[in-house]
Structure 1
Amino acid sequence: MSNVTRGGQFLVKETKCEDIFTPEDFNEEQLMMRDSVKEFVDKELWPNKDRFEKKDYALTEETMRKAGDLGFLSVAVPEAYGGMGMGFVNTVLVCDYISGATGSFSTAFGAHTGIGTMPITLYGTEEQKQKYVPKLASGEWFGAYCLTEPGAGSDANSGKTKAVLSEDGKTYSITGQKMWISNAGFCSVFIVFARIGDDKNITGFIVENTKDNGISMGEEEHKLGIRASSTRQVFFNETKVPAENMLSERGNGFKIAMNALNVGRIKLAAACLDAQRRVITNATAYANERIQFNTAIAQFGAVRAKLAEMATNCYAGESATYRAAKDIENRIIAREAEGATHQDAELKGVEEYAIECSILKVAVSEDVQACADEGIQIFGGMGFSEDTPMESAWRDARIARIYEGTNEINRMLSVGMLIKKAMKGHVDLLGPATKVGEELLGIPSFDTPDFSELFAEEKDMIVKLKKAFLMVAGSAVQKFGTDLEAHQQILMAASDMLIEIYMAESTILRSEKLAKKEGQDNVQEQIAMARLYLYQAVDIVTQKGKEAIISFVEGDEQRMMLMGLRRFTKYTTMPNVVALRETITSKLVAENAYCF
Structure 2
Amino acid sequence: MNNKLNKSTELLRGGQFLVKETKAEAVFTPEDFTEEQKMMRDSVKEFVDREVWPKKEEFEKKNYKLTEEVMQKAGELGFLGVAVPEEYEGLGMGFVSTMLVCDYISGATGSIATAFGAHTGIGTLPILLYGNKEQREKYIPKLATGEWFGAYCLTEPGAGSDANSGKTKAELTEDGKHYKINGQKMWISNAGFADVFIVFARIEDDKYITGFIVEYDKENPNGVTFGEEEKKLGIHSSSTRQVFFNDTIVPVENMLSERGNGFKIAMNSLNVGRIKLAAASLEAQRRVTDVAVKYANDRIQFKTPIAKFGAIKYKLAEMATSAWVGETASYRAAKNIEDRIELRVEGGASHVDAELKTFEEYAIECSILKVACSEDIQNCSDEGIQVLGGMGFSADTPMESAWRDARIARIYEGTNEINRMLAVGMLIKKAMKGHVDLLGPAQAVGEELTGIPSMDKPDYSELLSEEKEMIKKLKKVFLMVAGSAVKKFGEDLEEHQQLLLAAADILIETYMAESAVLRAEKNAKRFGEDAQKHQIEMAQLYLYHAVDTVNQKAKEGIASFAEGDEQRMMLMGLKRFTKYDRMPNVVALRNSIAEKLTEENKYCF
TM range (shorter): over 0.9
Mapped to 1, the partners of 2:77 and 2:603 lie a distance apart of: 27
The aligned amino acid for 2:186 is M
Local SS of the residue matching 1:403: coil
> What displacement does 1:517 show?
1.2
The aligned amino acid for 2:117 is G
Alignment equivalent of 1:44, drawn from 51, 54, 67:
51
> What displacement does 1:313 show?
0.6
Mapped to 1, the partners of 2:10 and 2:458 lie a distance apart of: 30
The aligned amino acid for 1:422 is A
Alignment equivalent of 2:557, drawn from 548, 556, 574:
548
> What displacement does 1:512 show?
0.5
Paired residues of 2:105 and 2:113 also in contact (CA < 8 A):
yes
Query: Where does residue 323 of structure 1 map in the other structure?
Result: 332
Mapped to 2, the partners of 1:311 and 1:201 lie a distance apart of: 44
Mapped to 1, the partners of 2:520 and 2:57 lie a distance apart of: 38
The aligned amino acid for 2:135 is Q
Mapped to 1, the partners of 2:602 and 2:209 lie a distance apart of: 48
Query: Where does residue 226 of structure 2 map in the other structure?
Result: 217
After superposition, the C-alpha distances for 1:188-232 in whole angstroms (9 at most, x for unaligned) are: 000000000111111000000132411000000010000000000
Query: Where does residue 137 of structure 1 map in the other structure?
Result: 144
Query: Where does residue 197 of structure 1 map in the other structure?
Result: 204
Query: Where does residue 460 of structure 1 map in the other structure?
Result: 469
Matched, 1:575 2:584: yes
> What displacement does 1:4 show?
2.0
Query: Where does residue 285 of structure 1 map in the other structure?
Result: 294
Local SS of the residue matching 2:181: strand
Mapped to 1, the partners of 2:326 and 2:270 lie a distance apart of: 19
Q: How does 1:229-378 map to 2 (within 5 A)?
A: 229-378=238-387
After superposition, the C-alpha distances for 1:445-490 in whole angstroms (9 at most, x for unaligned) are: 1111100101100000000000010000000000000100000000
Local SS of the residue matching 2:152: strand
Residue ranges of structure 2 left out of the alignment (5+ in a row): 1-7
Mapped to 2, the partners of 1:593 and 1:512 lie a distance apart of: 24
Query: Where does residue 195 of structure 2 map in the other structure?
Result: 188
Mapped to 2, the partners of 1:99 and 1:252 lie a distance apart of: 31
Mapped to 1, the partners of 2:477 and 2:193 lie a distance apart of: 50
Query: Quick one: percent identity of the two aligned structures?
Result: 75
Query: Where does residue 84 of structure 1 map in the other structure?
Result: 91
Moved more, 164-173 or 386-395: 164-173
After superposition, the C-alpha distances for 1:422-464 in whole angstroms (9 at most, x for unaligned) are: 0000000000000000000100011111001011000000000
Query: Where does residue 184 of structure 2 map in the other structure?
Result: 177
After superposition, the C-alpha distances for 1:226-284 in whole angstroms (9 at most, x for unaligned) are: 00000000000010000000000001000000000000000000000000000000000
Paired residues of 1:67 and 1:73 also in contact (CA < 8 A):
yes
Matched, 1:107 2:101: no
Q: How does 1:154-169 map to 2 (within 5 A)?
A: 154-169=161-176
Paired residues of 1:22 and 1:323 also in contact (CA < 8 A):
yes
Mapped to 2, the partners of 1:450 and 1:443 lie a distance apart of: 20
Mapped to 2, the partners of 1:144 and 1:182 lie a distance apart of: 6
TM-score (structure 2 length as normaliser): 0.98
Alignment equivalent of 2:72, drawn from 61, 65, 72:
65
Mapped to 2, the partners of 1:293 and 1:519 lie a distance apart of: 39
Query: Where does residue 496 of structure 1 map in the other structure?
Result: 505
Local SS of the residue matching 1:2: helix
Query: Where does residue 432 of structure 2 map in the other structure?
Result: 423
Mapped to 2, the partners of 1:169 and 1:99 lie a distance apart of: 44
How well do the aligned residues superpose, as a CA RMSD in angstroms? 0.5
Alignment equivalent of 2:403, drawn from 386, 391, 394:
394
> What displacement does 1:413 show?
0.2
Aligned length: 596
Paired residues of 2:52 and 2:109 also in contact (CA < 8 A):
yes
Paired residues of 2:171 and 2:203 also in contact (CA < 8 A):
yes
Matched, 1:146 2:153: yes
The aligned amino acid for 2:223 is G
Local SS of the residue matching 2:9: coil
Mapped to 1, the partners of 2:243 and 2:237 lie a distance apart of: 18
> What displacement does 1:166 show?
1.1
Residue ranges of structure 1 left out of the alignment (5+ in a row): none
Q: How does 1:18-57 map to 2 (within 5 A)?
A: 18-57=25-64
Mapped to 2, the partners of 1:222 and 1:262 lie a distance apart of: 28
Q: How does 1:459-478 map to 2 (within 5 A)?
A: 459-478=468-487
Mapped to 2, the partners of 1:540 and 1:381 lie a distance apart of: 31
Paired residues of 1:524 and 1:583 also in contact (CA < 8 A):
no
> What displacement does 1:32 show?
0.2
TM-score (structure 1 length as normaliser): 1.00
